Amino acid sequence: MKIAFTICSNNYLAQAKILGDSLLMTNPDYKFYIGLCDEFSEEIDYTFFKDFEIIRLSEIGLSYFKEITEKYDIIELNTCIKPSYFKYLISKNDNLSTIIYFDPDIKIFNLLDSIEKELETNDILLTPHILHPIGVDQLFPSENLFLNYGIYNLGFIALNAKNNNSIDLLNWWEDKTMKMGYNRVCEGLFVDQLWINLVPIFFDKVKVMKEYGFNVAPWNLHERNEIKKINNQYYMKDKSKLVFFHFSAYDFKNTKLLSKHYNRYLQINLTQEVFEIYSQYHQSLIKNNIENLSKVKCFLIKKPKINKGEKFKYFILNLFETIQNTFKK
């Protein structure tokens, strides 16, 4: 049995629908789950997602449920529960071999058989943000960005569900995300992602996937911009097929930008195929009612979003509290 899943709140269901549809179209032997970091909303017709199984966070029996919904913002909450959903799905499926997590803003373009093949000899598969060095300049992303936010992109992680090595990883990772899954880069914390820097050291049978076609995204378009279409298949510069594309930070209201966070790709010549891929993705978002779904508020979020000024204030207060506690000891 093979499973792929994503996690999102109601406001990202348009993206999750693209992911699920593209997965089942290219890999019909997979079962796809949406981990809903939310409650069901009367504003949404969930029969639109009838080909998938939706599992609400409140259904998986998480002992930290009350704590994390009170202390985390929407990004922290959606990311901290990733290892918990892995554990839940593994526990509910005895014959499970391959289990893959994809961020909801990913689209699958090809068979996942190369991932399955790697999991025959490895337990944990990761994809790095970039594969080659970047010179020092004023463009984004730069190498130091990945030192702050993580060498590996956790929009993807695949596990061999049969091996205890994977369970050991999940238990260790979940302990970190439940207790320290904050977005506080200045403290060495970035949600679930930064911890994974340690995985190749702490755990065995870890494989870093280095083919260009895995996890193509705006942060690596400067090295993966030469996408060509041959017989309705997209091919990368290293001759590998495009397996999945990560449309991170894409704003459907501003189609002139491929990403609102990065500008390095603006300095290179992107192939027409790249723009075709984005155009098709945009059309699918509109078809999936992103205009309305993106406005649905998350029922679980109690902690308000903090602006930059408030984040600095929070950091100072947290530092002061830490110093006080140190002296109390």
* Residue 15 belongs to a domain: yes
From 17-26, 211-220, 249-258, the region with the lowest mean pLDDT: 249-258
Return the CATH number at 27.
3.90.550.10
> If residue 56 lies in a helix (H) or strand (E), which one and from where to where?
strand 53-56
- The pTM is what? 0.91
Residue 26 to residues 125, 187, 247, Cα–Cα distance (Å): 20, 41, 18
Strands (E) in 120-269, as ranges, are 124-126, 156-160, 183-184, 189-190, 206-208, 214-216, 228-230, 233-235, 244-246
Q: How far apart are CA 269 and CA 5, in angstroms?
A: 34
Domain extent for 106: 2-213+296-328
pLDDT, position 325: 45
Q: Quick one: what percent of the chain has pLDDT higher than 70?
A: 92
At 103-128, the pLDDT tens digits run 999 999 999 999 999 999 999 999 99
* Residue 265 belongs to a domain: no
* Residue 234 belongs to a domain: no
Query: pLDDT class for 187, splitting at 50, 70, 90?
Result: very high
5 with 85: CB under 8 angstroms? Answer: yes
* Residue 246 belongs to a domain: no
Q: Which two tokens stand for residue 40?
A: 């069901």
At 274-305, the pLDDT tens digits run 999 999 999 999 999 999 999 999 999 886 55
* Residue 229 belongs to a domain: no
* Residue 308 belongs to a domain: yes
* Residue 245 belongs to a domain: no
Phi, psi dihedrals of residue 250, rounded to the nearest 5°: -80, 130
pLDDT, position 324: 46
Query: pLDDT class for 78, splitting at 50, 70, 90?
Result: very high
Number of structural domains the chain divides into: 1
Average pLDDT value over all residues in the chain: 93
pLDDT, position 8: 98
* Residue 90 belongs to a domain: yes
Q: Which residues make beta-bridge pairs with 246?
A: 106
